[in-house]
Amino acid sequence: MADFLERIAEAEARSRDLETQLSDPNVGKEPGAIEKLGRRLGSLRPLLEVGGRYKAAMAELADSKAMLEDDDAELQELARSEIERLGELIPDLERELRVLLTPKDPNDEKNAIFEIRAGTGGDEAALFAAELFRMYSRYAEDRGWKVETLSVSENDVGGFKEVIASISGDDVFSRFKYEKGVHRVQRVPETESQGRIHTSTVTVAVMPEAEEVDVEIRNEDLRIDVMRAGGPGGQSVNTTDSAVRITHLPTGLVVQCQDEKSQHKNKAKAMTVLRTRLLDLEQQRADAARASERRSQVGTGERSEKIRTYNFPQSRVTDHRAGVTMHKLDQVMTGDLDELLDLVHAQIAASREGELGAGGGEARP
């Protein structure tokens, strides 16, 4: 009990400190500072809400126990009734607090960078890549999050060979981080004259968007090339050298952006993607250094893992990690993802608890 109250008091102190920082007029002069502080404050709100209810319940319990000392029999009976009610409520609140006080992945509060690429299946894979992008975009927009396309490579039939986008808002990465992997689609393509079902794949990478303070990039480690942007089939998109390609020489990572007519804006977007990929590379190296038994689809998210199948003839979506099948593919593809994401997150949380119970060691954040 005392530990819960101490942790709640610490959270309340952090909240007051963040509110003080947000009211400082100098904070607005730092790029992204207000948004970052706002996300931190927002992440404390669930804990503060449950913590407030817990403190109130503990105060009521103390008052009810004091009432037992009263000579009035009616008050004593009322006190016993309240103590019984609070005896059921307080353990539930403590369970909620344990979850909320569990250390989080430090990236959970960050925005996310999506990289969606057509895999096997040619034009059909590219068309499904575009549909997946629309699915995630609709879900994000319904939650009030901002979706910004950073780079897109289309094919001649309106599909996406590759699309890179950022999604910004409260706890975006936390919600999407288990979407990385291979997504398989089974359906009859529009070009299939004999009605045969084809199987195609799309790879999805989801990374926490890196801020400038997360990754140090030296100018001498970059080679920056500018060129004219191109579109499907190779036609010119514009006649100015606005497209930007950045090569990070130490790692060989290459990022190209051409969506904007401004070379400056394309360079800024490319740098955002490069920072994010470098941060992801660092995290992959850290994962690789861990014992092999600690690696799983939860922690590594390697793109070779088939995480989900979308079967259109049966209107079925199956998540292979959660072991769940839903016959509501139409709703899922229009962005109704909450039920599916909740099941995936619950299964992964349960598997982590099982790993700890089996002596798997300390849980990964």
d(CA 166, CA 146): 8
- pTM of the predicted model, to two decimals? 0.65
For every residue of 315-360, DSSP letters joined together read: TEEEETTTTEEES-HHHHHTT--HHHHHHHHHHHHHHHHHHHHTT-
Q: Which domains does the chain have, with CATH numbers?
A: 2-101 (1.20.58), 112-213+302-357 (3.30.70.1660), 219-288 (3.30.160.20)
Tens of pLDDT, residue by residue over 233-252, are 444 455 567 889 999 999 99
Neighbour count for residue 82 (Cβ, 10 Å): 16
Cα 138 from Cα 301, distance rounded (Å): 23
The rounded distance, in Å, linking the Cα atoms of 18 and 12 is 10
Query: For residue 148, what is the enclosing H or E element?
Result: strand 146-154
- What is the model's pLDDT at position 280? 87
**158 has pLDDT over 50:** yes
Higher pLDDT, residue 114 or 108:
114
Position 60: which residue type? Answer: E
> Mean pLDDT over residues 224-231, rounded?
79
What distance in Å separates the CA atoms of residue 148 and residue 169, rounded to the nearest whole number?
A: 12
Mean pLDDT (the chain) is 84
